[in-house]
Structure 1
Amino acid sequence: MDRADIVDGAFRQSLQTGTFPAGASPQGPLSDEDAVAVFRAQCLSRNLDRRSRKMQADGQGYYTIGSSGHEGMAAVAQALRPTDMAFLHYRDGAFQAMRSHQVPGTTPTWDMLLSFATSTEDPISGGRHKVLGSRRLSIPPQTSTIASHLPKAVGAAYSIGLTRRRKIDGQVMPSDALVMCSFGDASANHSTAQGAINAACWTSVQSVPLPLLFVCEDNGIGISTPTPKGWIGNSFSQRPGLKYFCADGLDIYDTFRVAQEAAEYVRSRRKPAFLHLRLVRLYGHAGSDLQQAYLKKEVFEAWEADDPLLHSARLLIEAGVLSTSEALAIYQEAEDRCTRVAAEAVTRPRLHEAEKVMASIIPPPRETAPSNGPDQQERAAVFGSETKQLSAPQPMAKLLNWALTDLMIEHPEIAIMGEDVGRKGGVYGVTQKLIDRHGPDRVIDTLLDEQSILGLAIGLGQNGFIPIPEIQFLAYLHNAEDQIRGEAATLSFFSNGQFTNPMVLRIAGLGYQKGFGGHFHNDNSLAVLRDIPGVVIACPSRGDDAAMMMRECVRLAREEQRVVVMIEPIALYHARDLMTPKDGGWLSHYPSPDRRIPLGQVGVEGDGPLAIVTYGNGRFLSSQAASDLRQDDIETRIIDLRWLAPLPKDGVLTALCGAQKVLIVDECRETGGQSEALMTLLYEETNLPHARIAAEDSFIPTGPAYASTMPSRASIAAVARKLWKSQ
């Protein structure tokens, strides 16, 4: 027999016989009316769980991880305001049900059952997943089970204080709001949660406003692994900068009282707090989880005897708010409603076509105030004595710096964040002087934690900012790649375009640094980014291109709400010469602020019959090799991709018109590199003879062999000659 039915029968019998689990008497500020509302939300959540399991058994539901045992979160919702953004644990159906009660006109039963049925009419995901979430309720959808939403909750909380200091258009949360994020006791051990909580403490001790309430829902077990007794309390009660609160999550009066105290502390002090709730888990981890296979029967029967709905019913009856029959009637009414509404929800249309599934991967464009470019008077004041240098040719790092300066003058919602981006000006000087020009609120020196850097950006992006986070080296992204894959890139997909987190992520990367750092600072693999749906990847090769592409990246984020990544070739940041020392062949002039390179526009140099398709350092090396090939009467055209994702297929094919043969030069590895997609494109769309030269499937060493595994001027020329001479 389904444990959900066993718990249901036990609840009904307990009310009929008047036998309840022992507990404290009802005490605290929860009013009678609100206590009944909380109980109604709990009963709705419980019966939604039961109905989802029956829908799955009938082949009409597809994901049954539930909230039973965690219904105390309804009291937490009652203690907060509906304008407080909530990043929810997947067991928080009662929280959403209660918040729906706070916002007139919402239909939680219908909405959540449509989600369970994966109907296209599901108002949050459009049938893409069973997720909690609602635009009207300020609940962004979450799919995380490993607390990967905590870093962006930190970022969202930070954004509230930032909007109080820097007024911008488009902010979502009121200035007196707080952010709540909830998670389980098992997830609290994950490095993502630990990093986010550490970042909150780090921020708090520096007296930087961070109105954030962490809620740990401690049911004592993570799937099958018990949480050591006292672990959560001992781990989080003494953290610097973090106020600890603890409540009995089975007692709605105690939970509401403590949650209200915690919320008031966060709201008034603008500091983070940690609310620890004791709860139980009912029915196992999820619908497919057979807890009797790894737990003794007395363990989960003890949890079932501690059913939070039984505690709520007892408290309301003792308080004289409800009679036994009235409590049972509320519960029965919730079951009847869920049964009735579910019968209709399962008839509603579902997704079937790939095109419709993918429709929300790319966010919808949004209306933005028109801009006439950076204010010239402010520009003159900001650039100061550096104005005279604007007309002289410069390397990429300097032109990127100027482009960021102009963009920050033009768009006050831009904020830059990352390790060492402020006072130091970045490892390679790209953000030099920006903190002096625009202030520490907009150029934020962060702690050393890539997950927190990206979480800060995602959170700011959800509250009206255009964040430009920096990851110091491409190799460091792997510590935090799920913040892009699992959080930033999926938000529009799982919210049907209702929630977005636009950003321009800058990453110093690729290889060819002479004898520096080995594979920790040289990383010539973009595979981790290339396979994320919807993410735009830019990779400039020259300074003027970098400036114009950065402007397009910001436009894409600002107007089209895109997640954009710019890979900036480290070896070209300060490159000045192309063929001979002091020839200045790789310097370029700063393009006027109104010029940009549109997404998908490739660069073409020359019109020879041998086309070299490349990007980044490959363009630099191919330009050198082209000079050598010219001595053999082999004329080339160099096609610089510029945009690596989405692959600019039309631009490449147009640029190949008139070419006779094609060489692909890929500085990334042969396996998983850009060349694989380009070879496929040539095979499917052309009849041109082609070849490729790519990096070896190897890490990059330190020392004189730093470039030995990657294409070089000589090797490119050699492969080009062989291709050209081949029949």
Structure 2
Amino acid sequence: MDRADIVHDAFVQALTNTKFPSGADPSGPLEDTCAIEIFQAQCISRNLDRTSRKMQASGQGYYTIGSSGHEGMAAVAAALRPTDMAFLHYRDGAFQTMRSAQVAGIDPVRDMLLSFATSTADPISGGRHKVLGSRALNIPPQTSTIASHLPKAVGAAYSIGLARRRTPEHKILEDDGIVICSFGDASSNHSTAQGAINSACWAAYQSTPLPLVFVCEDNGIGISTRTPKGWIAENFKSKPGLKYIHANGLDLYDTYRAAKEAAAYARTHKKPVFLHLTLVRLYGHAGSDLQQAYLPKTTFEQWEADDPLLHSARLLDQSGALASKDALKIYTDTAARCQAMAQEIAALPRLETAQDVMQSLIPPARPCLPKNGPSDTERLRVFGSDIKAMDTPQPMARLLNWALRDIMLDHPEVVMMGEDIGRKGGVYGVTQKLADRFGADRVIDSLLDEQSILGLAIGMAHNGFVPIPEIQFLAYLHNAEDQIRGEAATLPFFSNGQFSNPMVLRIAGLGYQKGFGGHFHNDNSLAVLRDIPGIVIACPSRGDDAAMMLRECVRLAREEQRVVVFVEPIALYPMRDLHDNKDAGWMTHYPAPDRKIPLGSVGVDGDGPLAILTYGNGRYLSSQAARKLDHDGLETRIIDIRWLAPLPTDAILQALHGAQKVLIVDECRETGSQSEALMAFLHENCAVPHARIAAHDSFIATGPAYAATMPSADSIAHAAKALWDMS
């Protein structure tokens, strides 16, 4: 027999016979009306869990990770405002059902069952996944996340204080709002959770406003691995800057009291709180989880005897708020309603085609106020003597710096964050003087944690800011890439375009940097980014392009709500010469602030019959190779892709018109590189003979062999000749 049915029968029998588990008496600030509303939400959540199992058994439901045992979260929701943004643990159905009662026009039973059934009428995901979430309830969707939502909760909480000082155009959160973030005891051990909580403490220790409530739902087990008794309390109750509050999550009165205290503290003191709720887990991890295979029967029977709904009914009866027979009627009426609604929903349509599924990968554009640009006086204040230097060609690093200045002048909602970007001005000086010109709250020197940097950006975007986070080196992205893959890129998809977290992620990367750090500061792999659906990847090769592409990236984030990754080739930051010493062949003038290179536009140099298709350092090296080839009588055209995702296929084909052969030059590794996609694309769409030269499948060495594994001007020229000479 399903444990859900066993718990159900035990609950009905207990209320029929008025036999309850023992526990503390009701006490605290909870009024009778609110207590009954909390119990109603708990009953809805419990019956939704049971219904989800019946739906799966009949082939009409597709998700059975329930919230049973965690119904105390309904009391947490009751203690908060519905405008307080909530990033929820996947066992928080009771929180969402309670918050639904706080906002007019929301039917939690129908909404949740639509999600279980993956119906296209599901109001949050449009049938793409069973997720908790609601635009009306200010709950961005979460799936079965393992702590990856904690960093963005920190960012959203930080944004509240900043928005009071610098109000973004698309502000969402209230000035006196707070952010809540819930997770399980097992998830608290994840490095992402530890890093996020540490960053919150780090900020609070320095008196940075951070109105955030962490809620740890401690049921003592993570799937099958038990949490050591006392571990959560010992781990978190003494952290600097973090207030610790504990409550019995089985007691709706005690939970409400503690949640009220936590919310008031965070709202008043603007500091993070750790709300520790002790709970039980009912039914196992999910419908397919047979807990009797790894737990003694006596253990989960004890949890079932401590059913929070039994405790709620007992407390309501003792307080005089609700008699047992009336509590049972609420429960049974809710069960009947869930069952009837499930039958109705089973006939509704579901997603069928790839187009249906992919429709929400890219968020909708949003209206933005027009920008007329800064005044001459403002530009002079920010640029100073650099205004005169604009008359002369400059390397990429300086042009990027100037572009960032103009962007920040034009868009007050743009905020930068990253390691060493403020006082130091970045490892390579790209962000020099920006903190002096715009202030430390718009150019944020972060702690050394890539997950926290990206989480800060994601969370701030939830409140209308346009973040430009920086990851110091491409190899360091791997510490945190799930913040892009699992959080930023998936948000529009799982919310049917209702939520977004636009940003422009700047990453110093790629190879050819001489004698500095080997692989960890020279990483020639973009594979980790290329397969993330929905994001834009840009890679400039020259300073003027870099400035104009960066402006387009900010436009894409601000107006089209896109997640953009802007990969800046480190080796080209200082590059001045192209062919000869002091020829200044790779420096350019700063393009006027209103000039952009549109997404999907490629660059073309020359019109020769041999086309070289490349990007980044490849364009620089191919330009050197082109002169060698020209001396041999072989004319070339160099096509700079610029936009690596989505691949500018139409523009590439147009640029190849008239070409007789195509050589792909890819500085990244043969396996997983852009060249693989380009070879497949040309094979499917272009009859012109083509070949590729790419880096070896190797990490990069330090010292004289720094470029040995990657294409060079000579190897490109050799490959071009070999291709041209092929019959």
TM-score by length of 2: 1.00
- What SS is found at the alignment partner of 1:377? helix
Equivalence for 1:88: 88
Matches within 5 A, 1:602-681: 602-681=602-681
Kindly tell me the number of residue pairs found equivalent between the two proteins.
727
Name the aligned partner's letter for residue 113 of structure 2: L
Q: CA deviation at 1:19?
A: 1.3
Could you give the per-residue CA deviations for residues 247-280 of structure 1, whole angstroms, max 9, x where no partner exists?
Answer: 0000000000011001100000000000000000
Q: Distance in 2 between matches of 1:726 and 1:324?
A: 88
Q: Distance in 1 between matches of 2:502 and 2:430?
A: 22
Equivalence for 1:140: 140
- What SS is found at the alignment partner of 1:379? helix
Contact 1:541 1:569 in 2 (8 A): yes
Q: CA deviation at 1:157?
A: 0.3
Name the aligned partner's letter for residue 270 of structure 1: K
Q: Distance in 2 between matches of 1:626 and 1:692?
A: 16
Contact 1:374 1:593 in 2 (8 A): no
Aligned: 1:150 with 2:162: no
Q: Distance in 2 between matches of 1:58 and 1:114?
A: 15
Aligned: 1:574 with 2:574: yes
Equivalence for 2:478: 478
Q: CA deviation at 1:190?
A: 0.3
- What SS is found at the alignment partner of 2:575? coil
Matches within 5 A, 1:426-445: 426-445=426-445
Q: Distance in 2 between matches of 1:602 and 1:17?
A: 76
Name the aligned partner's letter for residue 714 of structure 1: D
Q: Distance in 1 between matches of 2:685 and 2:321?
A: 73
Q: Distance in 2 between matches of 1:169 and 1:669?
A: 42
Equivalence for 2:408: 408
Q: Distance in 2 between matches of 1:572 and 1:206?
A: 37
Q: Distance in 1 between matches of 2:348 and 2:384?
A: 63
- What SS is found at the alignment partner of 2:62? coil
Equivalence for 1:182: 182
Could you give the per-residue CA deviations for residues 92-145 of structure 1, whole angstroms, max 9, x where no partner exists?
Answer: 000000001111111111111100100000000000000000000000000143
Equivalence for 1:160: 160
Q: CA deviation at 1:203?
A: 0.5
Q: Cα RMSD (Å) of the superposition?
A: 0.6
Name the aligned partner's letter for residue 406 of structure 2: D
Q: Distance in 1 between matches of 2:247 and 2:392?
A: 65
Give the unaligned 5+ runs of structure 1: none
Equivalence for 2:206: 206
Matches within 5 A, 1:236-251: 236-251=236-251
Equivalence for 1:54: 54
Matches within 5 A, 1:28-427: 28-427=28-427
Q: Distance in 1 between matches of 2:100 and 2:197?
A: 28
Equivalence for 2:697: 697
Q: Distance in 2 between matches of 1:145 and 1:393?
A: 49
Name the aligned partner's letter for residue 424 of structure 1: K
Q: Distance in 1 between matches of 2:701 and 2:21?
A: 65
Name the aligned partner's letter for residue 225 of structure 2: T
- What SS is found at the alignment partner of 2:444? strand
Percent of pairs identical after alignment? 74
Could you give the per-residue CA deviations for residues 284-307 of structure 1, whole angstroms, max 9, x where no partner exists?
Answer: 000110101111100000000000
Q: CA deviation at 1:167?
A: 1.7
Contact 1:374 1:407 in 2 (8 A): no
Q: Distance in 1 between matches of 2:195 and 2:392?
A: 44
Q: Distance in 1 between matches of 2:573 and 2:375?
A: 28
Aligned: 1:709 with 2:712: no
Contact 1:375 1:409 in 2 (8 A): no
Instruction: Tell me whether 62-71 or 379-388 shows the greater mean CA deviation.
Output: 379-388
Name the aligned partner's letter for residue 379 of structure 2: R
Q: CA deviation at 1:689?
A: 0.9
Q: CA deviation at 1:179?
A: 0.2
Give the unaligned 5+ runs of structure 2: none
Name the aligned partner's letter for residue 520 of structure 2: F
TM-score by length of 1: 1.00
Equivalence for 2:565: 565
Q: CA deviation at 1:633?
A: 0.2
- What SS is found at the alignment partner of 1:391? coil
Q: Distance in 2 between matches of 1:363 and 1:667?
A: 31
Name the aligned partner's letter for residue 181 of structure 1: C
Equivalence for 2:462: 462
Could you give the per-residue CA deviations for residues 167-193 of structure 1, whole angstroms, max 9, x where no partner exists?
Answer: 221110111000000000000000000
Equivalence for 2:452: 452
Q: Distance in 1 between matches of 2:164 and 2:370?
A: 24
Q: Distance in 2 between matches of 1:386 and 1:145?
A: 47
Q: Distance in 2 between matches of 1:247 and 1:160?
A: 27
Q: Distance in 2 between matches of 1:449 and 1:400?
A: 24
- What SS is found at the alignment partner of 1:639? strand
Q: CA deviation at 1:375?
A: 2.9
Name the aligned partner's letter for residue 562 of structure 2: R
Name the aligned partner's letter for residue 455 of structure 1: G
Equivalence for 1:595: 595
Equivalence for 1:502: 502
Q: Distance in 1 between matches of 2:134 and 2:268?
A: 26
Q: Distance in 2 between matches of 1:337 and 1:312?
A: 21
Q: CA deviation at 1:346?
A: 1.2
Could you give the per-residue CA deviations for residues 657-693 of structure 1, whole angstroms, max 9, x where no partner exists?
Answer: 0111000000000000000011011111111111110
Q: CA deviation at 1:725?
A: 1.1
Name the aligned partner's letter for residue 477 of structure 2: L
Q: CA deviation at 1:374?
A: 2.9
Q: Distance in 2 between matches of 1:376 and 1:71?
A: 59
- What SS is found at the alignment partner of 1:5? helix
Q: Distance in 1 between matches of 2:152 and 2:283?
A: 30
Q: Distance in 2 between matches of 1:656 and 1:324?
A: 78
Q: Distance in 2 between matches of 1:712 and 1:202?
A: 45
Q: CA deviation at 1:370?
A: 1.0
Could you give the per-residue CA deviations for residues 448-480 of structure 1, whole angstroms, max 9, x where no partner exists?
Answer: 000000000000111100000000000000000
Q: CA deviation at 1:391?
A: 1.7
Q: Distance in 2 between matches of 1:315 and 1:90?
A: 27
Q: Distance in 2 between matches of 1:14 and 1:234?
A: 36
Contact 1:375 1:410 in 2 (8 A): no
- What SS is found at the alignment partner of 1:133? strand
Q: Distance in 2 between matches of 1:54 and 1:235?
A: 39
- What SS is found at the alignment partner of 1:537? strand
Could you give the per-residue CA deviations for residues 305-355 of structure 1, whole angstroms, max 9, x where no partner exists?
Answer: 000000000000000111111010010111011011111111111001100
Name the aligned partner's letter for residue 425 of structure 1: G
- What SS is found at the alignment partner of 2:381? helix
Q: CA deviation at 1:18?
A: 1.5
Q: Distance in 1 between matches of 2:690 and 2:632?
A: 19
Equivalence for 2:688: 688
Name the aligned partner's letter for residue 500 of structure 1: S
Q: CA deviation at 1:60?
A: 0.2
